[in-house]
Amino acid sequence: HVQLVESGGGSVAAGGSLRLSCAASAYISRSNCMGWFRQAPGKEREGVAGIYTGGTTTYYADSVKGRFTISRDNAKKTVYLAMNSLKPEDTAMYYCAAGTNCGGSRYQRYWGQGTQVTVS
């Protein structure tokens, strides 16, 4: 059974930074993409960033471009999300995911339990 474990969330002031990590417990088949999603209270889950494991191609939501950076270490089966210039609207539960495509939630095969990010 594959598990994704997130860490690095917390509470920060606007303009601050956080770095999230997500480690997979084992090899994930057809995990062409690893990425991050977030969900705020009363809102639908949205894609934040993704990176293809077979290369360095990345994707970002328009709302985080220029502020967030996704990276990965395939050997460690870990993906990271560096978040800078955080805004209150970034407040959400952040979920790590692994799937066949970076296109959206429907392509994800595994999900982490989430890590809370609160910006005030």
What pLDDT, on the 0 to 100 scale, is given for residue 1? Answer: 73
pLDDT digits (tens, 9 = 90+) for 15-62: 999 999 999 988 777 778 999 999 999 999 999 999 998 878 999 999
pLDDT digits (tens, 9 = 90+) for 85-100: 999 999 999 999 999 8
Confidence of residue 14 (pLDDT cuts 50, 70, 90): very high
Residues 61/49, Cβ–Cβ less than 8 Å: yes
What pLDDT, on the 0 to 100 scale, is given for residue 9? Answer: 98
What pLDDT, on the 0 to 100 scale, is given for residue 54? Answer: 80
3-class DSSP assignment, residue 8: coil
